[in-house]
Amino acid sequence: MAELTNYTEKDVLYFLEENCDLKGDNGRKRHILDRRNYIMHILYCKFGKTEYEISKILKIKRTAVHHSKYHAYYWKDDEDFKLNTERLRKTFPYIAVKPLVKKKSFKHKLTVLLDDDEYEKLKAFKKKHDTLTIDQALKKMIRLY
């Protein structure tokens, strides 16, 4: 039998219907978790399903999906994972995708004490540079100087 390289989402969902042991909370059996995590990774990365949609399909909590959706990438070189997902990898070949790490940017709140003369200069800068608020004027001043 030839390998399926062009499988669809429908094929994966049909596979899940035929293998109902992958659905629901079946404890912490490694062979089931590995297979479910592989399917989860495909649904999330290849087919663009949301965590909520995957949780409904697999009948598990969304937090479990959030935690496990990239395990196929993290465990791809593990011998047990390879053994547990061997049949799935032949049926649904997919190269695990590295997760994108979003860099968090924080806003810092500052309190600055200005005397009347400094405040008037800041207001003049605000007017000259067409900014609406003192906050915007300060940010622009920092960028310029």
pTM of the predicted structure, to 2 decimals? 0.68
Tell me the per-residue pLDDT of 106-138, one tens digit each, with 9 for 90 and over.
888 888 899 999 999 999 999 999 889 998 999
d(C-alpha 39, C-alpha 33), whole Å: 10
Tell me the per-residue pLDDT of 49-97, one tens digit each, with 9 for 90 and over.
999 999 999 999 999 999 999 999 999 999 999 999 999 999 999 999 8
In contact, 99 and 68? CB cutoff 8 Å: no
d(C-alpha 141, C-alpha 116), whole Å: 18
> What are the chain's domains?
9-91 (1.10.1750), 106-145 (no CATH)
